[in-house]
Chains A and B, each alone.
Chain A
Amino acid sequence: GQNIDQPTEMTATEGAIVQINCTYQTSGFNGLFWYQQHAGEAPTFLSYNVLDGLEEKGRFSSFLSRSKGYSYLLLKELQMKDSASYLCAVKDSNYQLIWGAGTKLIIKP
């Protein structure tokens, strides 16, 4: 079956750095996406990786290793507004998006 694993919850301090990991086992791979979802709101797109390596976008970076079936989302200079759930999703061989359960990130002052 297809499976995406990410931690259920993480806590970090304002101003610090946090890394949210995602491992996947899917039938084929056509890219990995990270989304941010604030409570009660719809997800918003953060990043896309299809080749190995690091993609940087401001305070957020996303890394992919296809051979390891592994990705992480790195958030720097954490702000209170970064408190949200972070969803990892992979497009399989049929270009269907397989979603992880999400990681709830709690930022403390």
Chain B
Amino acid sequence: GAVVSQHPSWVICKSGTSVKIECRSLDFQATTMFWYRQFPKQSLMLMATSNEGSKATYEQGVEKDKFLINHASLTLSTLTVTSAHPEDSSFYICSASPAGGGGNQPQHFGDGTRLSIL
């Protein structure tokens, strides 16, 4: 149980393109999902917390107009990297915990999206 699906796995596109990444909880409902970014050989960096039915909470230094987050249902959150540039190339990972599960519920991660901007 507690499977999170992330799509696509790989994206290679030209500079200036907008890229949408989907994160779905397949067998549970998630009022909150999390978006991380990880550069090579570095630790996970939380970008934003996605809240179902309300605005996302962004971490300091993350541009909310560049990284658009939508959490329209209890099983789906999307991250759109708008007008992507080479410096946005990174490994983007989403995670989610079952709603109402309490503090001991781990975050379950999607497989990640490797984004390469040419």
CB within 8 Å: A-B pair count: 42
Residues of B that sit less than 8 Å from A by CB:
6, 34, 42-44, 46, 91, 93, 103-104, 106-112, 114
Q: 20 A-B contacts, Cβ less than 8 Å apart?
A: A31-B104, A33-B106, A33-B107, A35-B106, A40-B91, A41-B112, A42-B110, A42-B111, A43-B109, A44-B109, A45-B107, A48-B104, A48-B106, A50-B103, A50-B104, A95-B103, A97-B34, A99-B46, A100-B43, A102-B43
| Smallest CB gap from B111: residue in A | A42
Q: Does A106 contact B (CB under 8 A)?
A: no
Residues on B with C-beta less than 8 A from A21 are: none
- Residues A19-58 near B (CB distance < 8 A): 30-31, 33, 35, 40-45, 48, 50
Please give the distance in Å from A44's CB to the nearest CB on chain B: 7
